[in-house]
Amino acid sequence: MTTFVIVLCLVLMVGFALSAAMLRSMLKSAVSLAAMSAALAVILYMMGAVWAALFELSVCVGLITVVFISAISLTTPDRRDEAHTKDHRQRFAALPFILIAAGVALIAVLVSTGFYLPQPGEEAVAEAAFNQVLWQTRQADILGQILILLAGAFAVVVLFKEGRKI
Amino acid sequence: MSAGLEFVLLVFMGLPLLIVLINNLLKREIAQKICLSLGLIAGIGQMVAAIVVFVSLNAAGQASVDFSQFWNLTAGASRFSVDFFSLLALFCIGMVVTAGFLTAGKTIGDKRFNFTNLAMIILLGMNGIALVTDLFSLYVFLEITGVASFVMIALNKEGNGIEGGFKYLVMSAIATAFILGGLAFIFMQSGSLLYSDVASALSDWQNVDQPALLIVAFALVLVGFSIKSGIMPFHGWLPDAYQSAPAAVSVILGGIVTKMAGVYAILRLTGDIFVGVNLVNQILMLLAIVSIVLGAVAAITQTDFKRILAYSSISQIGYILLGASCGSAIGLIGAMLHFFNHATFKTTLFVNSAAVETATGTTEIEKLGGLQEKMPVTGVSSILAFLSTAGIPPLAGFWSKLLIILAVWQTGNFFIAGLALFASIFTAAYFLRLQRCVFFGSAVEGLENTKEVTGGICLSSVVLSVITVGFGLLFPLVLLFVQSQGLI
Amino acid sequence: MNILSIAILTAALLLIVTGLYMLVRTHNMIRIIIAVEVAMKAITLLLAYAGWLNGQTALSQAFVVTIIVMEVVVAVVAAGLAISSFRKNGDLDIRRLNKLNG
Cβ distance B240 to C100 less than 8 Å, yes or no, reads yes
As a whole number, the mean pLDDT across chain A is 81
**In 10 A of CB C3, how many CB atoms?**
11
Q: Considering only alpha carbons, which residue of chain B is nearest residue C39? A: B177
Q: Considering only alpha carbons, which residue of chain C is nearest residue A98? A: C17
Nearest chain B Cα distance for residue C1, angstroms: 16
The pLDDT score that the predictor gives to residue A16 is 93
Tell me which of B137, B152, B180 to substitute to probe the interface with C (most C C-beta atoms closer than 10 Å): B180
A58-83 core/surface letters (b: 16 or more CB in 10 A; e: else) = ebbbeebbebbeebbeebbeeeeeee
- B74 lies within 8 A of chain A by CB: yes
Q: How far apart are CA B49 and CA B277, in angstroms?
A: 35
Instruction: Give, in degrees to the nearest 5, the angle at Cα B283 between B280 and B289.
Output: 135
Q: Which residues of B touch C63 (CB under 8 A)?
A: 136, 187
DSSP H helix total and E strand total for chain C? 3, 0
Cβ distance B160 to C88 less than 8 Å, yes or no, reads no
Size of interface B-C (CB pairs under 8 A): 110
- B144 lies within 8 A of chain A by CB: yes
Which whole-number Å values give the CA distances from B398 to B255, B422, B468, C66, in the listed order? 19, 14, 11, 43
Predicted confidence band at A83 (pLDDT cuts at 50, 70, 90)?
low
Predicted confidence band at B65 (pLDDT cuts at 50, 70, 90)?
confident
The pLDDT score that the predictor gives to residue A165 is 44
Nearest beta carbon to residue B191 from set C47, C56, C100: C56
Q: Considering only alpha carbons, which residue of chain A is nearest residue B143? A: A148
pLDDT for A166 beyond 50: no
The pLDDT score that the predictor gives to residue C102 is 43
Instruction: Give, in degrees to the nearest 5, the angle at Cα B413 between B293 and B287.
Output: 40
Which whole-number Å values give the CA distances from B352 to B376, B438, B459, C57, C58, in the listed order? 11, 11, 11, 52, 51
Nearest chain A Cα distance for residue B352, angstroms: 27
pLDDT for B14 beyond 60: yes
The pLDDT score that the predictor gives to residue B207 is 65
Cβ distance B77 to A151 less than 8 Å, yes or no, reads no
What are the E-state strand segments in A17-115? none
pLDDT for B61 beyond 80: no
pLDDT for A130 beyond 50: yes
- In this prediction, the residues of chain C whose per-residue pLDDT falls under 50 are 1, 101-102
Residue A59: closest CA among A133, A136, A152, A138: A152
- B307 lies within 8 A of chain C by CB: yes
The pLDDT score that the predictor gives to residue A127 is 59
pTM for the complete prediction? 0.91
Predicted confidence band at B33 (pLDDT cuts at 50, 70, 90)?
confident
Q: How far apart are CA B219 and CA B101, in angstroms?
A: 38
B190-212 pLDDT, tens digit each: 888 888 888 887 777 666 666 77
The pLDDT score that the predictor gives to residue A163 is 46
Q: Which residues of C touch A56 (CB under 8 A)?
A: 44, 64, 68
Q: What value does the mean pLDDT take over residues B406-415?
A: 85
**In 10 A of CB A85, how many CB atoms?**
13
Q: Which residues contact A27 (CB under 8 A, 6 or more apart)?
A: A69, A72
B128-177 pLDDT, tens digit each: 999 988 899 999 999 999 999 999 988 887 777 888 888 889 989 999 99
The pLDDT score that the predictor gives to residue B107 is 78
**In 10 A of CB C63, how many CB atoms?**
29
Nearest beta carbon to residue A158 from set B20, B128, B155: B155
Q: How far apart are CA B96 and CA B152, in angstroms?
A: 15
Q: What value does the mean pLDDT take over residues B286-304?
A: 86
Q: What value does the mean pLDDT take over residues B257-274?
A: 85
Q: How far apart are CA A145 and CA A136, in angstroms?
A: 15
Q: Which residues of C touch A128 (CB under 8 A)?
A: 58-59
Cβ distance A136 to B79 less than 8 Å, yes or no, reads no
The pLDDT score that the predictor gives to residue B119 is 92
What are the extents of the domains in chain B? 278-488
Instruction: Give, in degrees to the nearest 5, the angle at Cα C101 between C97 and C102.
Output: 170
Q: How far apart are CA C86 and CA C93, in angstroms?
A: 9
Nearest chain A Cα distance for residue B7, angstroms: 18
The helix/strand/coil state of B10 is helix
Cβ distance A136 to B77 less than 8 Å, yes or no, reads yes
Give me the residues paired with residue B194 across strands: B134
- A136 lies within 8 A of chain B by CB: yes
ipTM of the complex, rounded to two decimals = 0.92
Predicted confidence band at B477 (pLDDT cuts at 50, 70, 90)?
confident
Nearest chain C Cα distance for residue B197, angstroms: 14
The pLDDT score that the predictor gives to residue B466 is 87
- B110 lies within 8 A of chain A by CB: no
Residue B18, classified by CB atoms within 10 Å of its CB into exposed (0-12), middle (13-18) or buried (19+), is middle
B310 or A89, higher pLDDT: B310
Q: How many residues does chain B have?
A: 488
Residue B144: closest CA among A152, C13, C29: A152
Residue B250: closest CA among B163, B350, B167, B118: B350
As a whole number, the mean pLDDT across chain B is 83
C-alpha count within 13 angstroms, C-beta hemisphere, residue B102? 26
Cβ distance B188 to A144 less than 8 Å, yes or no, reads no
Indicate the range of B74-83, B257-266, B314-323, B409-418 predicted with least confidence. Answer: B74-83
Cβ distance B143 to C74 less than 8 Å, yes or no, reads yes
What are the extents of the domains in chain A? 121-166
Cβ distance B117 to A154 less than 8 Å, yes or no, reads yes
Nearest chain B Cα distance for residue A93, angstroms: 23
Predicted confidence band at A105 (pLDDT cuts at 50, 70, 90)?
confident
Q: How far apart are CA B187 and CA B177, in angstroms?
A: 15
The pLDDT score that the predictor gives to residue B445 is 66
Give me the residues paired with residue B80 across strands: B132
Size of interface A-C (CB pairs under 8 A): 234
The pLDDT score that the predictor gives to residue A118 is 66
The pLDDT score that the predictor gives to residue A121 is 56
Cβ distance C82 to A117 less than 8 Å, yes or no, reads no
Residue B146: closest CA among B232, B228, B251, B248: B228
Indicate if the alpha-carbon torsion angle A62, A68, A69, A74 is positive or negative: positive
The pLDDT score that the predictor gives to residue C11 is 93
Q: Which residues contact B138 (CB under 8 A, 6 or more apart)?
A: B129, B132, B265, B268
The pLDDT score that the predictor gives to residue A38 is 94
Q: Name the CATH topology of C3-93.
A: Helix Hairpins (1.10.287)
Cβ distance B78 to A140 less than 8 Å, yes or no, reads yes
Q: Which residues of B touch C47 (CB under 8 A)?
A: 180, 183-184, 187
- A18 lies within 8 A of chain C by CB: yes
Indicate the range of B98-107, B298-307, B335-344, B435-444 predicted with least confidence. Answer: B435-444
Q: What value does the mean pLDDT take over residues A20-46?
A: 90
- C72 lies within 8 A of chain B by CB: no
Q: How far apart are CA B118 and CA B198, in angstroms?
A: 33
Choose the most confident range, by mean pLDDT, from A5-9, A112-116, B355-359.
A5-9
B428-437 pLDDT, tens digit each: 888 888 887 7
Q: Considering only alpha carbons, which residue of chain A is nearest residue C49? A: A47
Cβ distance B148 to A138 less than 8 Å, yes or no, reads no
